[in-house]
Amino acid sequence: MSRKKKFPKPFDLAHSIMFNEFPEEYTKIIGVPGEFVKVINRRVHLKDGTTGEMDSAYIADPDFKTLFEKVAVGLEHQSKPVDDFKLNTIGNYDIQLVVDEHLPTLLVVASHLKEEKSKNLLIRSPSDITKIYFLNLGEENIYERLNNLKRKLKNNNELNTEDALNLGVIALYTPRENACETIGSVVNIYTEIVDDLDYKMEFVLYSVITLMIDAFFEDENEYLRLSDMIDNNTSNESIVKLASFEELKKSLDYAHEDLAAANEDLAAANDKIADLEAENKRLKEELDAK
**Any bridge partners for residue 71, and if so which?**
60
Q: What is the pLDDT of residues 68-112, one digit of tens each?
A: 999 999 999 999 999 999 999 999 999 999 999 999 999 999 999
Q: Residue 96: what pLDDT?
A: 94
Q: Residue 246: what pLDDT?
A: 61
Q: Are strands 43-45 and 56-61 parallel, antiparallel or unpaired?
A: unpaired
Q: What is the pLDDT of residues 220-249, one digit of tens each?
A: 899 999 999 999 999 888 888 887 766 545
Is the CB of residue 58 less than 8 Å from the CB of residue 37? yes
The sheet with strand 35-39 has its strands ordered as 35-39, 56-61, 71-78, 105-111, 128-136, 121-125
pTM of the model: 0.81
Phi-psi map region of 31: left, alpha, beta (phi>0 left; psi -120 to 50 alpha) = left
Q: Residue 259: what pLDDT?
A: 40
**Residue 211: which of 13, 4, 3 has the closest Cα?**
13
